[in-house]
Structure 1
Amino acid sequence: MATLASLTLAALLALGLPAHAQPQNGARDDTTVRIGVLAYKGPEAVQRDWSRLRLWLQTRLPGRSVELLDFDQVGLTHAVRARAVDFIITSSGHYATLEQDDGASRIATLASPWSASPQLAIGSAIVVRRDAALQALADLAGKHVLAVAPEAFGGYQIAAREMLAAGVDPERDLDRLQFNGFPTQQILLAVRAGRADAGIVRSCLLEQMIRSGELGAGELRVLAPLPHPGSSCQSSSRLYPDWPFAALRHTAPALSRQVAVALLTMAPTADGYSWAVPSDYGSVDELFRELRIGPYDYLRQWTFETALRRYWGLLLLALGLLVLWAVHTVRVEQLVAKRSAELLAAQQRERGMADEAQARQAALDHTARLAILGEMASAIAHELNQPLAAIGNFARGMARRIAAGRTETAPLLEGANEIAAQSERAADIMRKVRALAQKRAPERRKLDLTAVMDEAVALFRAAHPQARVDWQADAPAPVLGDALQIQQVALNLLKNALDAQRGADDAGAEACTGAAETPLVVTLRARERDWQVCVRDRGCGLAPEQFARLFEPFFTTKAEGLGLGLSLSKGIMESFGGTLSARPNDDGVGLSVCLTLPNFDLSETP
Structure 2
Amino acid sequence: INLQPEDEHICLHSTALYPNWSIGSSPNLPAAYVSAVTAALIHQKPTALGIHWSVASDYTELDTLLRALNLGAYQRFSRLWFGRMLHEYKYVLLGAGAMLLLLLTYTYLVSKLVERRTRQLRVSLERENKTFQEAKAANERLLRMQRAGVVGQVSGLIAHELNQPLASIKLYARALQRASEAGTLTEAKMKEVLEEMRADADMASAIVDRVRQYAKGRDSGRQTLALSELAAKSIREFNRQTGSESGIVTRFNSRAIVYVNALEIELCIVNLLRNASEALTKQNIKHPKITVSIFEDAKRAELRICDNGNLSEEKLSLFNEPTQSDKSSGLGLGLQIVRGIVENHGGKISFSRNNVGGLSVLITLPLHEANHGKKAAENAHTNR
Aligned to 2:337: 568
CA gap 1:490/1:369 in 2 versus in 1, 3 angstroms: farther
**What is the CA–CA distance in structure 1 between the aligned matches of 2:208 and 2:238, rounded to whole Å?**
14
Aligned to 1:198: none
Q: Structure 1-normalised TM-score?
A: 0.39
| 8 Å Cα contact 1:582/1:591 also seen in 2 | yes
Q: 1:591 aligns with which of 338, 349, 359?
A: 359
Q: 1:557 aligns with which of 311, 314, 326?
A: 326
* 1:317 shift after superposition: 0.9
CA gap 1:372/1:349 in 2 versus in 1, 3 angstroms: same
Identity across aligned pairs (percent)? 21
Deviations 1:245-304 (A, max 9, x none): xxxxxxxxxxxxxxxxxxxxxxxxxxxxxxxxxxxxxxxxxxxxxxxxxxxxxxxxxxxx
* 1:350 shift after superposition: 2.3
Please provide the CA RMSD for this pair: 3.8
Q: 1:360 aligns with which of 133, 143, 149?
A: 149
* 1:426 shift after superposition: 4.7
* 1:312 shift after superposition: 4.5
| 8 Å Cα contact 1:500/1:540 also seen in 2 | no
Aligned to 2:12: none
**Matched residue type, 1:528:** A
Q: 2:233 aligns with which of 455, 470, 481?
A: 455
Aligned to 1:495: 274
Structure 1 residues without counterparts, runs of 5 or longer: 1-41, 45-101, 103-306, 397-417, 506-513
**Matched residue type, 1:372:** E
**What is the CA–CA distance in structure 2 between the aligned matches of 1:464 and 1:489, rounded to whole Å?**
16
- 1:581 maps to 2:350: yes
Q: 2:307 aligns with which of 525, 529, 537?
A: 537
Aligned to 2:257: 478
CA gap 1:452/1:357 in 2 versus in 1, 3 angstroms: same
CA gap 1:471/1:308 in 2 versus in 1, 3 angstroms: farther
| 8 Å Cα contact 2:307/2:360 also seen in 1 | yes
Query: Whose strand fraction is larger, Structure 1's or Structure 2's?
Result: 1
CA gap 1:327/1:375 in 2 versus in 1, 3 angstroms: same
**Matched residue type, 1:535:** I
CA gap 1:549/1:519 in 2 versus in 1, 3 angstroms: closer
3-state SS of paired residue (1:535): strand
* 1:502 shift after superposition: 0.5
Q: Structure 2-normalised TM-score?
A: 0.59
**What is the CA–CA distance in structure 2 between the aligned matches of 1:457 and 1:43, rounded to whole Å?**
134
**Matched residue type, 1:560:** S
| 8 Å Cα contact 2:165/2:201 also seen in 1 | no
Aligned to 2:223: 446
**Matched residue type, 2:146:** A
CA gap 1:359/1:476 in 2 versus in 1, 3 angstroms: farther
**What is the CA–CA distance in structure 1 between the aligned matches of 2:132 and 2:345, rounded to whole Å?**
29
Aligned to 2:296: 526
Q: How does 1:283-322 map to 2 (within 5 A)?
A: 311-322=100-111
Query: Whose helix fraction is larger, Structure 1's or Structure 2's?
Result: 2
| 8 Å Cα contact 2:299/2:367 also seen in 1 | yes
Task: State how many pairs are aligned.
Answer: 268
| 8 Å Cα contact 1:531/1:597 also seen in 2 | yes
Aligned to 1:185: none
Q: 2:161 aligns with which of 372, 376, 384?
A: 372
Q: How does 1:123-272 map to 2 (within 5 A)?
A: none
* 1:358 shift after superposition: 3.2
**What is the CA–CA distance in structure 1 between the aligned matches of 2:245 and 2:290, rounded to whole Å?**
8
